[in-house]
């Protein structure tokens, strides 16, 4: 008698799961699985750090060859941002660790890669705090840094799902010198707050006055009539770790800890 071979169940069929028709299932998986892992770690609040994947610390930058077209003086400004990012992340993680209720603590969150993302995770690591890495599969630049908390290193395929996790749990955002990806995330959040699609108050710090004033003329947007003067109050451009730390922790205490 011929032995009956049982057909493969749909959820065990890799050809189907990786095919066109199952894209919706893959998208749902990227929503559901990270959320489950975050909740297991009692993470409901994050402070998101953005910045360039290419930036190195001052000590490394001075030894490295600069990129084509890079102005060494301005490259050094970005490198100082790396060191400031690490210092600020460490201080915030130390502050968060002192919050008695684990569910009310603030985990540091970065894009999980090198550069400023590494600096953010490194600072939290030095403080013994939890930090998240929201990686994305890219053909270059992106690879997980070694300072992400085990179990909180995520790898996304879909950019829009990754964006969701950056913003959904975010209670504050700090943006250091960066490129297109940094601008994308910052302006997306500003747009969502400006249009009131996000109702929560999210303190936003653009760190590094020389960089942000050089790259963007925000007051000119008001002069051209494309944003209102009040929109400039949605963020602060700061240049000092102590000032950024005091502003962020004061706002978070007022909004979420009282």
Q: What is the pLDDT of residue 141?
A: 62
> What does the H/E/C string look like for 35-51?
HHHHHHCCCCCEEEEEC
Q: Distance (Å, rounded) from C-alpha 6 to C-alpha 21?
A: 23
What's the full length of the chain, in residues?
258
For the cut 90, the answer to whether the pLDDT of residue 68 exceeds it is no
CB 92 within 8 A of CB 57: no
Q: Where are the beta strands (DSSP E) in the chain?
A: 46-50, 107-110, 131-136, 153-156, 170-175, 204-207, 236-238
> Beta strand pairing status for 204-207 and 46-50?
unpaired
Q: Distance (Å, rounded) from C-alpha 161 to C-alpha 173?
A: 18
Has this prediction a pTM greater than 0.95? no
Q: What is the pLDDT of residue 64?
A: 85
Q: Domain locations in the chain?
A: 42-256
- Tell me what percent of the residues of the chain surpass a pLDDT of 90: 89
Confidence category of residue 4, pLDDT binned at 50, 70, 90: confident
Q: Domain 42-256 adopts which CATH fold? A: Rossmann fold (3.40.50)
Mean pLDDT of 133-162: 90
Q: Distance (Å, rounded) from C-alpha 212 to C-alpha 233?
A: 15
């Amino acid at each position: 008698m011929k032995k009956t071979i049982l057909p493969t169940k749909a959820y065990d069929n890799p050809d189907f799961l990786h095919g066109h028709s199952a894209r919706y299932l893959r998208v749902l998986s990227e929503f559901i699985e990270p959320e489950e892992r975050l909740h297991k770690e009692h993470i409901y609040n994050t402070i998101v750090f953005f910045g360039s994947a290419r930036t190195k610390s001052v000590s490394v930058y001075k030894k490295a060859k600069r990129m084509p077209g890079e102005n060494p003086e301005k490259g050094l400004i970005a490198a100082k941002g790396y060191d400031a990012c690490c210092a600020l992340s460490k201080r915030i993680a130390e502050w968060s660790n002192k919050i008695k209720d684990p569910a009310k603590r603030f985990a540091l969150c970065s894009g999980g890669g090198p550069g400023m993302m590494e600096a953010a995770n490194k600072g939290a690591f030095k403080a013994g705090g939890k930090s998240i890495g929201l990686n994305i599969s890219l053909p270059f630049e992106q690879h997980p840094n070694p300072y992400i908390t085990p179990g909180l290193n995520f790898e996304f395929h879909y950019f829009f799902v990754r964006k969701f996790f950056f913003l959904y749990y975010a209670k504050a955002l700090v943006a250091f010198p960066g490129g297109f990806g940094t601008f994308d995330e910052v302006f997306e959040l500003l747009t969502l707050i400006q249009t009131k699609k996000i109702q929560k108050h999210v303190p936003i710090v653009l760190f590094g006055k020389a960089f942000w004033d050089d790259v963007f003329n925000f007051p000119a947007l008001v002069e051209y009539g494309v944003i209102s003067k009040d929109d400039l109050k949605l963020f602060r451009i700061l240049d000092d770790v102590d000032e950024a730390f005091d502003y962020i922790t004061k706002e978070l205490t007022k909004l979420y800890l009282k």
